[in-house]
Amino acid sequence: MTVDKYILDEARKLLASRIHDSSRRQFLLRSLTLGGVAMLSGCGVSNDKHVETALASISRFNDQVQGWLFDPKALAPVYDESMITRPFPFNAFYGEDDAPSVEQATYRLEVTGLVADKRSWRLEELQAMAQTDQITRHICVEGWSAIGRWGGVRFSDFLKRVGADTGARFVGFKCADDYYTSIDMATALHPQTLLALTYDGQTLPRQYGFPMKLRMPTKLGYKNPKHIQAIFVTNTYPGGYWEDQGYNWFGGS
Ligand SMILES: Nc1nc2c(c(=O)[nH]1)N[C@H]1C(S)=C(S)[C@@H](COP(=O)(O)O)O[C@H]1N2
Ligand SMILES: [Mo]
């Protein structure tokens, strides 16, 4: 099979799996061309025949499709308190004992990039903002999911407070353990996206991301950064720890 045909086949499979309305799906599948995939992925797929380029094109095409299909108002399911998974599973690129210990007294959240107010934040200042909580399902690509209750500041409130340019494309995160990731602005502004400070009514425990994590029930586990130290708003693609190793960047759940 040629690389061109492979790219088109893979792109068709992705479209077929992501679009549930059958007439819309049929239309898009019929009208999809290699040029269309190349344009959407930003890769010159028809000139460069390398397999890596092909895979990168498909992944970026997938990001674009998920971006279009993301409904900024559709809510992820919420669950009853009795359905919370206890104990909640831990996951990171290291073992539980190696999760970072962040000191609240010296902790400062750095906020940079396309924001009007680049002042750093103390944890107490975030705790003083309006808080909300929700019980949602966390889905990890490693094959498990679990229901938990997270509380904190609606991320859209935080972005408004710092005067973020909400027309920018990305919000990036740097963590205390060298993890990093980035998300699309539509998801950053989604009503269920929380800058989570608590877990099950208690201060977020060390291994689950103290002092804060971004909790997004519309995205897979690896897109939810724990131990956030810096947040930045940008139009330059920031990538992520797993994303730069081939995981799909949009990472919708
Ligand atoms: N800082 C940081 N955040 C991270 C990770 C990590 O290794 N470091 N792992 C991610 C992955 S793959 C998952 S499934 C979840 C696990 O979160 P939990 O320990 O609260 O279950 O954190 C995500 N966020
Ligand atoms: Mo994960």
Q: In the numeric block, which tokens belong to residue 202?
A: 């208690």
Task: Please state the atom number of ligand 1 nearest to the C-alpha of residue 100.
Answer: 1
Pocket test for ligand 1, best of 177, 222, 229 (most atoms within 8 A of CB): 222
Sign (positive/negative) of CA torsion 124, 125, 126, 131?
Answer: positive
CA atoms within 13 A on the CB side of 44: 2
H-helix or E-strand spanning residue 196: strand 194-199
Q: What is the mean pLDDT of residues 225-230?
A: 99
H-helix or E-strand spanning residue 228: strand 228-234
Q: Pick the residue whose CA is nearest to atom 12 on ligand 1.
A: 222
Q: Which domains does the chain have, with CATH numbers?
A: 3-69 (no CATH), 81-245 (3.90.420.10)
What is the maximum alpha-carbon separation in the chain? 60
- State the pTM of this model: 0.94
Residue in the structure block whose two tokens are 């205390």: 176
3-class DSSP assignment, residue 124: helix
Query: From the CA of 229, how far away is ligand 1's center (Å)?
Result: 15
Proportion of the chain above pLDDT 70, given as a percent: 97
What amino acid is encoded at 125 in this protein? E
Band the pLDDT of 63: cuts 50, 70, 90.
Answer: very high
Query: From the CA of 145, how far away is ligand 2's center (Å)?
Result: 9
3-class DSSP assignment, residue 44: coil
**151 close to 173: Cβ distance less than 8 angstroms:** no
Report pLDDT for 218.
98
Pocket test for ligand 1, best of 85, 90, 91, 220 (most atoms within 8 A of CB): 91
